[in-house]
Structure formats: C-alpha cells, structure tokens
Structure 1
Amino acid sequence: MLYERLTTLPSRSFFLLGLRGVGKSTWVRSVLPSAMRFDLLDEALFTDLLADPALFGRMVSAAGPDDWVVVDEVQRLPSLLNEVHRQIADRGLRFALLGSSARKLKSAGTNLLAGRALRKEMHPLTAAELGDDFDLDDALRYGTIPLVWDAPDRGEVLASYAQLYLREEIRAEAAVRNLAGFVRFLPVAALMHAQSLNSAAIARDAGVARSTVEGYIEILEDTLVATRLGALEARLRVRERRRPKLYWADPGLVRALKRQSGPVTAEERGALLEGWVLGQLRAHNEHQHLYDEIAYWAPTESRIEVDFVLRREDQHTAIEVKAAERYNTSFVKGLRAIADLPGLTRRIVVYRGPRAFRTEDEVDIWPIDTLHRALAEDGIWH
C-alpha cells in the first residue's frame, strides 16, 4: 500500500538517504513522475557508467535547465557527484540523489555539493503515516520498514531482511575485511539496543578487537540502520553518565538480528518501545524541526534515567518511556530529578496505558496515541 510520507519535495537538489526498503524510490516516483531517472541497481547501466563516467554527462545533457534528474543508489558510483556538481552549477539542473549508505559518499567528496544539495533522511513508517493501519504490537514485532510492513508474510520477509543487509550493503561495498566477525557482532549489538554502549563487552562477546567494534558501529551508522544517542551534561550537582546509547532504526530489525520471531515478550518490550519512540521523534524532527538536539540523561550513582531530553533554542522537554499498561509513581523519578534543568518547560511520561492526565507536580502522563497526535501537531512543547 502507498502511504503518504512525511517527506516533502525540496525546491532544490537534495540527497535522500535511508536504509534499504524504506520507500525512497517509491516516494520519489510519486512526487517526480516525469524526471529523468538513473537506477544504479540496473547492472547494465551501472557497468556502462563505470566504464565510461563521461557517459553520464552526455545523457544528462538531454534534460532541460529546470528539470529534475533522479539518481538511485548513488553510493554505488559516487564519482558521478563531480558531474552532478557541474550540472547544478552550470545549468541549474535539480538532482534527487537517493542512497542507502553514506559510507562511500563521505569518502568520495560529497562536500563538492556543499551548499548546493540538501541532506534529507527517510525513516521507517511512522504512526502518523500509517494512520488507521497503525498497530503498536505489530510495529514492535515486525517493525515498519515498508518492504516488511506491506508483505503478506511479514515474518518471513523480516527474517530475510538481515541477509539482504549483509549481502547488499556489507558485501557489495566491501565494508569489512572480516565478514565472519561482523556477522558475530550483529546479534550482540542488537542485544545492546537502547543501552549504553560498552565496546569492550561487545568485543568480548563477538570475539573481535575493541577497535574493530568501533569501526563496526560506524558502519551501522553509515548504512543508516543504527544511531548513537549522546548523553546530556546537565551539571545538576550529580555525576552524569557520558557513554552514548545505541539504538537501531527499526524494532523489527532488532528482532530479526536476534532471531526472535514470535510475539514480543515482556522482557524485550521496554527497549523496543523506547527505540520506537526515538524513531518517531527523529522522523518528525526531520520534517518538522521539532528540536535542535536530542540526548538522554542519567546520573552515574543511581538507577534513574530520562530517556530523551529535547532542546530547542534555550528550552528543554524531557520524555520518559515506559512499557507498562498501568501508571506507577516510580515512572516520574527521573523526571523529578531533572526538574532543575535550566529551560525545562515540559516533562512527559509515555506509557501503554489508556488514560492521559497530569500529576500534581505537572508531569504529563501520555498514552502512545497522545504522543503520536502531539508529534503530528507539534504539541511536544506546549
């Protein structure tokens, strides 16, 4: 099914990055149906352009000065960016450059387009995009990557998705020399979802060097399947945790890498829901600019934590995520501990219960649906 995405078409050239199967090509076909198109997954075209890079310039010359040109899987031939830069500067052509990895683009001089092409990212389907089709249990079990969500056999497609990632992104780009080590690393890293990164522990469990783990995590970020969330240094008269936390881009991907295919268990639901909320925040921020920075906060000498602290200019909103269906006063411990943060305008607990209310000390308690409505309406701040 074709869902209306949050992504909007810019007026000038742009990169659109996102993990495989997230819907980049489908979206760009819907908004630029008459654009000149180059799909670098077409092996014949890829081979021709690899043998004769100047061919790209000759083909693009047929486009009019205000036309759009789409290059799909641009990371396969990053050398094309030289010609893209020339065509933008000399002829005013507009390019939509789609990719599932920023790895080769970073090393191949994407800065050539600095100031001439925006950088946008497409995320898995959000609750707002799914509308009436959204189901939290299904979202946590299978994730919402369109390739998986639209499949009649979601479980089978999800199980093969990790292999698609290894085959298309890792082997094709020769991103790692020791593929066996990377294969061992992936399920260990999936177990670290929504946790503070401990590279030494991951290295020990995966049987690789600690420095290798750091490189592997960079690969996860470059191929857009995971992100690191930094720790907030609020300096609230307590020692604060500084290690970043690791979050995968989609709960289904986490489960696939851990080879968990059944219903979501109580033990895994908390981390999956926390990661899901982060995904919603990141996706909406990409298109609505909800915040300037996002981090988590935790004192080192206690077990309390605030999952997400958003900053917009000099204001902050703090969000704690709980997987329980009933409210408990312990949910607000972290939010009370961060109450003295300068510019803190709102504190929110998101949980799976049905009732929205506000505590005596003005902490908002929100069901998941309330969060989704607030994100769609930019209601996080007030």
Structure 2
Amino acid sequence: MEFMKYIDRLLIKPLIHQISRGKSVLLLGPRQTGKSTLLEHIEKDHTISLVPPGVRQRYERAPSLLSGEILAIQKNMGRRPLIILDEIQKVPELMDVVQDLIDKEIAQFILTGSSARKLKKNNVINLLPGRVVSMRLDPFIFHEASYEEVNNHILYGSLPGIFTTDAPEDKETDLKSYVETYLEEEIRSEALVRKIGQFVRFLEYAGLESGNIVNFRALAQEIGVSHTTIISYFEILEDCLIVERVEPITKSLTRKKLTKSCKYLLFDLGVRRLCAAEGIKMTPERLGQLFEQCVGLELIRNARLFGNCKIRFWSDPNGPEVDWVIEKDRTYIPVEVKWTDSPLMKHAKHVKTFLEEHETAPKGYVVCRTSHPVQLDEKITAISWKDVAQIIPDFLTVLSPT
C-alpha cells in the first residue's frame, strides 16, 4: 500500500492512561487496523517485532532469551522499561516470560496481536486479569475519519490504508490483496483448516450472509460440509478477529418465542464485499441491507471504545425485530436502521413496540440518511448515520447522570 498519512486514533488516550497507571496492555486488532502506526506515537524504550522469521525462530528456540534482554535494558536504564512486543501470538510461549517480568515489576509491556486463537489455546487470555489490560483497535470509526457519502463506507470499509487511498481502483486492488494475503494465506499458513478450498468457499458465503441470522445447517448444506464444521469455521474467523458475533436478546415477559441464533458480521465492509465477490454496483435494497451492517459495526466499535456496552438484536420470528439493541446494566436502547432520508413514524414501529415491552428503556433511535435530527415521538429520535457516535455517550449519561 502507498504511504499513509496519520489520522489520530481515539484509543490513544485510554492506552496512554493505562500505561501511566503502570499497567501493561494487550492490544488486539485485525491486521492493517493501524496498531503499529498507533504505537509509533507512544513513548517507549524498546520494540521487538516477532514478524521477521529469524527473530521469531530465535525466541521459539529459547524463550528465556527475552528475560535476559529485558533485564539488561532495565539495568542500563535504572528503571522499569516500557517494551513493545509486536505480534505476540506468533510466539505465545513468550507469555510465560512476559508474565514473570510483569509480576516481578521488571518491565511494562504493550503486547500486540492480530489473532486471539493461539493466545486462547495457550491459556494466555486467562492470565490477563489484574496484570494486563486488554484493548482493541478497530478500523476507523466515523468520529475518527468518515467519507462524505455513506455508500463509500459500504463499498470500501474503513481500514486506514484503504480509507487514505484516493483512487477507487487502488482501493479495490488493496482490498483484493488484503483478502488474498491476510485472510486466505494466513489461514493456510497457520494450518487452521484441512481443506482450504472448502474454507475459501465458506468465506464467500460468510461475506454474502454477513449481518443475517445464521442457520448453520442450511449453510452447511450449501457448502457441502457438516454443520459442526461451519461452527468451527466461524470460531476461526472470530478468533482471528475477522467477524463480530452478535447475540440476540432471548428473554421476554411478553413473547414466548424469540430468535436464539446469533448474527455474524465481517469486521469491515470493504473486506466483506471482496470476500463475497460482489462488485460496486448495488441495488437500493442491497445498499439498505449493508447500511444496517455499517451502523451495527459502528455501534460495536463505539461500545468497545466508550461504553463497555453489549450490542445485541431483538427478533421474533413471527413478529417485530429491531436491528440493534445497546445493553448495559440490563437497560436497553433499541436502534432501527432505515435506508431513507425522510424518516417517518412508520420507520420506527418496531422500536416503538420494543419500548412498550421494555418500559425501563429510556429512548430509541432510527438511524437513517436524514440531514438533521427528527423527533418521531416522545422517546424516539431519527438521526443521521454520521451522528451514531452520540448514542452510547447519551445512554451512559442517562444511566449515570452524575
């Protein structure tokens, strides 16, 4: 990819805050979301990248080498150094050494990773509480960098390298390279699946079905594998930070049957389109479907960054459904997404039903392409997609008005 101008990331302030508290940080994020670029703007004492094969093999042969090197740095500096260890999942055996150095207050670390799979396998995630703060860097949110037209988010996503590339044909080339290099080849090199051809076909279906409620058995029949294989494929994508899993709200005092199956969203809409082998010409109906995913991804990213909320959805197979529901402390905010620039009360009917059945829900939203907010009724507001970032902070203010 071409040289990329730096755009400030909102995660940098909470990251610096945790470092100033003396904490170490595990910074996870899909490839090319800007982890290394972000860390260039952090004051540190030493950086070790585990990407070069020679470096990786050296530590694989003797993980204890890291301890001696860090002790030498500490002795030379006369204080606890801040060490960046890039792509830690490539040598998960180093985590025992890192844990020991943290426990003995010899060093402070920022560990980066583009996959949680090996870290889970080696039980690293369970070592984190109290020792390491886990953070996540996603593609750009609207508040960091946004196209003027939402169609560009739908077609090209918001990976930093793609966003800062001007020519559409170059964006397309780079997205294709991402899918081929960072998805298919990474899965192949990690030997995560036995039959790569089946997995590549699954990846196309995952792109096409992104944002829909998943029927594992139907998808298995389409691809010609068992439904347990489909489940394992989704687990691989989730562990590699390629999909977001969204759980439904399943409890209701008024409805006997709510959907219990989850939704999976590919983490970036440009990557999704290339996985699905879709072009840039789309019907309004398809744009509306992907607009729903665009808003969903934005809510998920904002929830991680600002509110520690959960994003869910609400669906009665025989009745209403709400695209996205923000949940915190058992309180809900329903959010419906509509491909319209003239929001009316009819667009909010399922939000209204949800609010009637969940009396503690303080308000609801319709996110659309309106140029200005529209009050649809006392508790429901229609807002522009550009203003999605205001929803979660407003929700948190309602929960904790002080």
Could you tell me the TM-score, scaled by structure 1's length? Answer: 0.93
Which letter does structure 2 place at the counterpart of 1:315? T
How far off is 1:324 after superposition? 2.1
State the AA in 1 paired with 2:72: A
- Please point out which of 32, 46, 58 is paired with 1:21: 32
SS in 1 for 2:92: coil
Deviations 1:56-76 (A, max 9, x none): 222222333421111111111
CA offset digits 1:352-378 (Å, max 9, x no partner): 122311123531111112323455xx2
Q: Distance in 1 between matches of 2:68 and 2:377?
A: 68
Give how far 1:120 is off.
0.9
2:247 alignment partner, one of 220, 230, 250: 230
Q: Does 1:268 align with 2:286?
A: yes
Partner of 2:275: 257
Check if 1:44 corresponds to 2:54. yes
Deviation at 1:29, TM superposition (A): 1.5
| Gap runs ≥5 in structure 1 | none
Contact 1:309 1:319 in 2 (8 A): yes
The total of aligned residue pairs comes to 376
Aligned residue number for residue 173 of structure 1: 190
1:168 Cα deviation after fit? 4.7
The answer to whether residue 299 in structure 2 is matched with residue 295 in structure 1 is no
Matches within 5 A, 1:54-93: 54-64=64-74, 65-93=79-107
Aligned partner of 2:387 in structure 1 is 370
Tell me the amino acid that sits aligned with residue 283 of structure 1: R
Q: CA–CA distance in 1 between the matches of 2:35 and 2:282?
A: 28
Which whole-Å CA distance do the structure 2 matches of 1:352 and 1:245 have between them? Answer: 24
Deviations 1:98-151 (A, max 9, x none): 0110000001121234320111111110111116x5542211110001122223
SS, match of residue 80 in structure 2: coil
Please say if 1:141 is aligned against 2:142.
Answer: no
Q: Say if 1:82 and 1:112, in contact at 8 Å, map to a contact too.
A: no
Contact 1:81 1:112 in 2 (8 A): no
Say whether the 8 Å CA contact 1:101–1:169 is kept in structure 2.
Answer: no
Q: Give the alignment of 1:1-382 within 5 angstroms.
A: 1-7=5-11, 8-9=14-15, 10-11=18-19, 12-32=23-43, 34-64=44-74, 65-110=79-124, 111-130=126-145, 135-152=149-166, 153-238=170-255, 239-289=257-307, 291=309, 293-302=310-319, 304-339=320-355, 340-374=357-391, 378-380=393-395
Distance between the aligned counterparts of 2:185 and 2:262, measured in 1? Answer: 28
Letter in 1 for 2:328: R
1:195-221 per-residue CA deviation (whole Å, 9 max, x = no partner) reads 101111111112211110000000110
Structure 1 ranges of 4+ moved more than 3 A: 372-375
Identity of matched residues, % = 27
The secondary structure found in structure 2 opposite 1:127 is coil
Distance 1:362 1:53 in 2: 58
CA distance in 1, matches of 2:285, 2:204: 17
Deviation at 1:178, TM superposition (A): 1.3
CA distance in 1, matches of 2:232, 2:220: 11
Query: For 1:213 and 1:255, how far apart are their aligned partners in 2?
Result: 20
CA distance in 2, matches of 1:85, 1:297: 41
The whole-number CA distance in structure 2 between the counterparts of 1:135 and 1:72 is 35
Counterpart of 1:366 in structure 2: which amino acid?
I
- For 1:137, what is the secondary structure of its paired residue? helix
Structure 1 SS opposite 2:155 = helix
Q: CA deviation at 1:44?
A: 1.7
> Structure 1 135/72 Cα, relative in aligned 2: closer, same or farther at 3 Å?
farther
Q: For 1:62 and 1:207, locate their aligned partners in 2 and report how far apart those are by CA, in whole Å.
A: 56
Contact 1:248–1:275 at 8 Å: present in 2 too?
no
1:308 partner SS: strand
Is the 1:234–1:341 Cα contact (8 Å) retained in structure 2? no
Q: Distance in 2 between matches of 1:237 and 1:196?
A: 22
Kept after mapping to 2: 8 A contact 1:187/1:257 = yes
Deviation (angstroms), 1:290: 5.4
Q: Distance in 1 between matches of 2:359 and 2:254?
A: 13
